[in-house]
Structure 1
Amino acid sequence: MWMYLGLLSALFLGLHNLCKKHAVQGNEVFPVLLGTITAGFLLLLPFYLGSKFYPEFTKEIGFYITDIPWQNHALIVIKSMLMAGSWVLAYQALKHLPITIVTPIRSAGPFFTFIGAIFIYHERPNYWQWIGFFLIIFSVFLYSRIGKQEGINFKKNKWIFAIIGATFLGSSSGLYDKFLIQQVNLNPQTLQFWFCWYTILILLVILAITWFPKADKRKAFKWRWSIPAVGILLQTADYFYFKALQDPDALIMLLSAIKRSQILIAVLLGGILFKEKNKRKKLIPLAGILLGVALILYSN
């Protein structure tokens, strides 16, 4: 069951990436990011209020947000810091790079998660899982060769390093999620609600320094329908992902890989909607990544 929940998460993540590209294109990144997180927070706020005033009803529908001790709040703050850093880097890179380059580099995330799952959680891959993961990494390398044809030098372009850093921080957060869900025993909606709240506070501090005092940047910001759509799609994807993690048999290394199937939506639909170049050539490494995911699924 947890694998199907992972695939549902991948579906909403793929749609989320398309909306995110639309939201940041030619726009100020930090207020866009704040808008998306705020939209996700507002989506969850009725469940928080319902948990306070109508606890039996929210428990019945499975969206009860529990009271948690302060030490658990501190643990969620750490996750918020990891993801805020990842999103700031990723949004900046997405603003300056094609989605068909950014998304495949992000697909290297399962490799970082794979290494962490081995050394932290002692998950043991089998022969096919090894092949699948290295096939994903090799396919990402092929994308870098195609990227050079679009005038993107992977060694000198700072936005490439930004998206790599974002990928590493995102993978670290993914490993941390397993700890929060399985060992701290936070339910998905509780983790999501407080995560959104603390991330909003972090982003407000960043904006107070980099955006609010600068009138030219404020005027450059454009509100778009895709901004709240990003937040709603992301929280929906995260809900299915956290529900999958609640299964004690769920392996974070496999879930992370399954989520990479989101790139099918990003590369195919994104290439058409945003009219990016070399779409056909990108289908070859895309097939490699999907084959790697398929090998991991088959191995289980």
Structure 2
Amino acid sequence: MWMYLGLLAALFLGLHNLCKKHAVQGNAVLPVLLGTLIAGFLCFLPFFIGSRINPIYFKEIGFYINELAWKTHGFIFIKSCIMAGSWILAFYALKYLPITIVSPIRSAGPFFTFIGAIAIYNEKPTPYQWVGFFVIIFSVFLYARIGKKEGINFKRNKWIYAIIAATFLGASSGLYDKFLIQNLTLNPQTLQFWFCWYAILILLTILSIMWFPKVEKRKSFQWRWTIPAVGILLQTADYFYFKALQDPEALIMLLSAIKRSQLIIAVVIGGLLFKEKYKRKKLIPLAGILIGVFLILYS
């Protein structure tokens, strides 16, 4: 069951990436990110209020938001810091790079998660899983060669380094999620509500220094319908992902890889919508990534 929940998460993540590209293209990145976080937070606010007014009902329907100890809040705040950094880097990279380059690089996330799952959680990969992960990494290198044809030098372009750093932070957060869900026994809605709340506070702090005081930067922001859509789709994807993690048998390395099937939406549909170049050539490394994911599932 947890694998199917992972596929549902991948579906909503793929749609989320398309909306995110539209939201940040030619737009001010930080306020866009804040808008998506607020939209996601508002999705869970009724559950928080309802859990305080009528806790029995919300426990029955499975959307009760627990009261937490301050120590647990501290653990969630750490996740918010990690993901705020990852999102800021990823949003800036997506603004300046094609989605058909950004999404495949993000697909290297399972490799970092794979190493962490072995070292931290003692998850034991099969030979097929080993092959699958290295096929994914090799495919990412193929994307690097195609990227050069679009005038993107992977060694000199700072946004490439930004998306790599964002991928590493995202993978770290994925490993941390297993600790939060399984060790601290947090339910998805409780984690998502407080995570969004602390991420909003972090973004507001950054914006109050870097964006709000500067009139010219404020004028560069454009409201788009995809801004709230990004937040809603991401929280939906995360909900299914966290539900999958609640299963004691769920392997974080496999869940992380399954989520990469979102690339079908990002590369194929995204390449057509945003009229990006070399779409056919990008299908070859895309196939490699999907083969890697298949090998992991097959194992």
Same fold per superposition (TM over 0.5): yes
Q: Match for 2:163: what amino acid?
A: I
* Deviation per residue, 1:118-174 (Å, 9 max, x gap): 000000001000000000000000000000000000000000000000000000000
Secondary structure at the aligned position of 1:189 is classed as helix
Secondary structure at the aligned position of 1:221 is classed as coil
Report the CA distance between 1:42 and its aligned residue: 0.4
Q: Does residue 61 of the first structure (1) align with residue 61 of the second (2)?
A: yes
The residue number in structure 2 matching 1:244 is 244
The residue number in structure 2 matching 1:45 is 45
The residue number in structure 2 matching 1:227 is 227
The residue number in structure 2 matching 1:182 is 182
Distance in 1 separating the partners of 2:232 and 2:57: 22
The residue number in structure 1 matching 2:264 is 264
Unaligned ranges ≥5, structure 1? none
Secondary structure at the aligned position of 1:120 is classed as helix
The residue number in structure 1 matching 2:87 is 87
* Deviation per residue, 1:207-252 (Å, 9 max, x gap): 0111000000101100000000000000000000000000000000
5 Å-filtered alignment, 1:122-141, equals: 122-141=122-141
Distance in 2 separating the partners of 1:21 and 1:123: 34
The residue number in structure 2 matching 1:280 is 280
Report the CA distance between 1:49 and its aligned residue: 0.4
The residue number in structure 1 matching 2:165 is 165
Distance in 1 separating the partners of 2:228 and 2:37: 8
5 Å-filtered alignment, 1:206-221, equals: 206-221=206-221
Secondary structure at the aligned position of 1:247 is classed as coil
Unaligned ranges ≥5, structure 2? none
Q: Match for 2:161: what amino acid?
A: F
Secondary structure at the aligned position of 1:41 is classed as helix
Report the CA distance between 1:59 and its aligned residue: 1.2
Distance in 1 separating the partners of 2:54 and 2:35: 28
Distance in 2 separating the partners of 1:293 and 1:56: 41
Pairwise CA RMSD: 0.4
The residue number in structure 2 matching 1:104 is 104
Report the CA distance between 1:54 and its aligned residue: 1.4
The residue number in structure 2 matching 1:121 is 121
The residue number in structure 2 matching 1:153 is 153
Distance in 1 separating the partners of 2:56 and 2:278: 54
5 Å-filtered alignment, 1:8-27, equals: 8-27=8-27
Distance in 1 separating the partners of 2:39 and 2:65: 18
Distance in 2 separating the partners of 1:142 and 1:75: 38
The residue number in structure 2 matching 1:298 is 298
Distance in 1 separating the partners of 2:284 and 2:262: 16
Per the normalisation by structure 2, the TM-score is 1.00
* Deviation per residue, 1:234-284 (Å, 9 max, x gap): 000000000000000000000000000001000010001000000000000
Distance in 2 separating the partners of 1:273 and 1:56: 46
Distance in 1 separating the partners of 2:111 and 2:220: 37
Secondary structure at the aligned position of 2:121 is classed as coil
Distance in 1 separating the partners of 2:179 and 2:186: 9
Distance in 1 separating the partners of 2:238 and 2:57: 23
Runs of 4+ in 1 over 3 A off after TM superposition: none
Distance in 2 separating the partners of 1:240 and 1:92: 26
Distance in 2 separating the partners of 1:88 and 1:223: 18
Secondary structure at the aligned position of 1:131 is classed as helix
Distance in 2 separating the partners of 1:90 and 1:284: 24
Distance in 2 separating the partners of 1:106 and 1:223: 26
